[in-house]
Structure 1
Amino acid sequence: MNTRSAAMLVAILAAGCGSVPAPPPMVSVAPVTVAPQEAHDVTAAPPAAAEQCDREASLSPGPLPPAGAMPAGSTMAAIARRGRLVVGVDQNTYRIGFRDPATGRIEGFDIDVAREIARAIFGDPDRIDLRVVDARDRETALVSGQVDLVVRTYSITCERKRSVDFSTVYFVANQRILVPRGTRIDTAEDLSGKRVCAATGTTSLANLLAMNPRPVVIGVTAWTDCLVMLQQNQIDAISTDDAVLAGLAEQDPTVEIAGPSLGVEPYGVGVGKRHEDLVRFVNGVLENMRRDGTWNRLYDRWLSALGPSPGPPAARYEGS
């Protein structure tokens, strides 16, 4: 390389080192609020039951047969031949029916109640097939025969008893309100005009729509969708059973359960019509759970965030 070429190269390099690249063009993107799938405004209340009933009364149990020896011709014998009890459950409600991310197993209070019924049939609580069903599909799952039972925070109502049968009450919940800490929302009156979330197909949603004045009701598929919307300031409150709200509050320390009970919600095990023997069998299992301490043990394991055990709800049988 001659002297002239070297000088030109130095000049080019010097010019490159001193240059400043042009900034990239500005890009402006407007923020988008993304709601959970199927979240929607609910304006129409479900039809009320045409007749009143004793919603908590169920068929009295007979003596329980030994596990593995179900009476010939019974619904339980048919389940035993199949080899598994099929139960409709939830997988999104912490402490009640939820999928443990560490194990992949569905666990919770309702799940253990279902497992006790499987234990009574087979002598093995693991002889169970858990089918995840949305709250709005519980009756459909039973009527169509997709499941033998539904154990899924299933409040007993007269309207529902027209389509399916129920066991005695195995848990009594109270509808309350979940709000961000420090929010002054405590009563039904405070919800007036507020955006309140509830799961479609639940009595909680129906109770909100019955309020006067009425809140702005948002329906979703799962209670965790409500929590996401609350965290994103898309709603002002969630209202449902305290057992469900306690699980949501454990997942987010910035929220709290507020106010008194807005209504009592008795949970029962759902059973398809024309299976009275299975209703009586389930009631026998629940009776044993009350007497032998199993119910209290399950409460202490899963629901102690609600406070000390109130003890199992007393059974009420038809005609008694």
Structure 2
Amino acid sequence: MTQVRISRPGATPRARLLVGILAVAVLAGCATPDPLTPTVAGTYTTRPMTNGAQIIPPTNNPPPAGPSPESCGALASLRPGPQPPPGQMPPGGSLAEIASRGRLIVGVDQNTNPFSFRDPTTGTLQGFDIDVAKEITKDIFGDPAKVEFRLLTSAGRFTALEHNDVDVVVHATAITCERAQRVAFSTEYFRAFQRIMVPRGSDITGPADLAGKRVCTFVDTTSLPTVQRVAPEATIVAVPDWDDCLVTMQKRQADATSTSDSLLAGLVSQDPHFQIVGPPMEDEEHWGIGVNKYKDDLVRFVNGTLDRLRADGTWMRLYDRWLAASLGPIAGPPPATYRD
């Protein structure tokens, strides 16, 4: 117990009175400690949700699966012609415009570890997609540093291409028949499978266990309707960025997260208290690089770069650097499919 001096020689009656009041207050504080901060009850509403999060209740009418990109020919891209040497783009067309500008403008995001994320130490953008974009830049200019990255939301990436705000989008984008109506795609440069991430020790082991659970996914992605089809009795927490799903899970505001296994692996690498479980939820995803629909010369050039990455081993080196530790070894990159 802390000793409190009640009075001192020469103190006035008023001073002695004030000291006495203080002593009573201190002694009362020692005898009755402040109550502890209330513990979180574990319900979904005890902490504020992520800004922009939407709660989508279970549905009796899940959206039908769209046609596969193979069925509508969306996976078949334009065959590359002879690649001009770096720094010698042909006159006219989008390549000449890019060369004249002196930089390639690439739409990316900064929240998709390990594809495109901001390194916390250097503040620079890094990842598999970032390196692919630099390879395209190197083939145009001979210098991979002549690239300008513009941060886009997933919802805004197609509009940015349509309005020519960016030259290409390298943004973990699945090729679909609907999207191929709006923009052009390169050949497939990555293949993924939608799965589930849960806390270690969770009783969720696959899609059948999602009924009655809260599942986090991205607000504008093919993953959301997939969850609605596979688990219509689940409540969806739709968030603006993939890192928001990690925070939502850490705050126990969702029981699971579902998207491409490659993106889930990036979340797990940030917090090993989570793990990926279950089989693929639907068919595989085919990722492509987005280009404005009317820039055929740029589509062919990008496909020429992707052909080089497959042939000279660069694609495998990038995979080993960024993805092999979390996704495991693979035989090689997905093959190119052309329509001409």
What is the TM-score with the length of structure 1 in the denominator? 0.90
Q: Which residue of 2 aligns with 1:234?
A: 253
Q: Shift of the alpha carbon at 1:90?
A: 1.3
Secondary structure of the structure 2 residue equivalent to 1:210: helix
Distance of 1:182 and 1:159 partners within structure 2: 38
Q: Which residue of 2 aligns with 1:293?
A: 313
Q: Shift of the alpha carbon at 1:20?
A: 2.0
Alignment CA distance shift 1:279-1:33 (3 Å): same
Distance of 2:323 and 2:18 partners within structure 1: 73
Alignment CA distance shift 1:62-1:46 (3 Å): farther
Alignment CA distance shift 1:150-1:97 (3 Å): same
Q: 1:118 touches 1:124 (CA, 8 Å); kept in 2?
A: yes
Query: What percentage of aligned pairs have identical amino acids?
Result: 48
Q: Which residue of 2 aligns with 1:95?
A: 114
Q: Which range moved further: 292-301 or 11-20?
A: 11-20
Q: Which range moved further: 6-15 or 71-80?
A: 6-15
Alignment CA distance shift 1:140-1:214 (3 Å): farther
Q: Shift of the alpha carbon at 1:63?
A: 1.3
Q: Which range moved further: 40-49 or 7-16?
A: 7-16
Q: Which range moved further: 170-179 or 255-264?
A: 255-264
Letter in 1 for 2:212: G
Q: Shift of the alpha carbon at 1:16?
A: 3.5
Match of 2:151 among 122, 126, 132: 132
Match of 1:173 among 192, 198, 201: 192
Q: 2:210 touches 2:231 (CA, 8 Å); kept in 1?
A: no
Between Structure 1 and Structure 2, which shows a larger proportion of strand residues?
1
Q: Deviations over 1:207-265 (max 9, x none)?
A: 11222534211111101111111111100000001111111001111100111111311
Distance of 1:220 and 1:26 partners within structure 2: 38
Q: 1:186 touches 1:260 (CA, 8 Å); kept in 2?
A: no
Q: Which residue of 2 aligns with 1:191?
A: 210
Gaps of 5+ in 2: 1-7, 41-45
Instruction: Give 1:197-216 correspondences, 5 Å limit.
Output: 197-216=216-235
Structure 1: 4+ residue segments shifted above 6 A: 24-31, 44-48
Q: 1:300 touches 1:309 (CA, 8 Å); kept in 2?
A: no
Q: Shift of the alpha carbon at 1:286?
A: 0.1
Gaps of 5+ in 1: none
Letter in 1 for 2:320: D
Q: Which residue of 1 aligns with 2:337?
A: 316
Q: Which range moved further: 45-54 or 70-79?
A: 45-54
What is the TM-score with the length of structure 2 in the denominator? 0.85
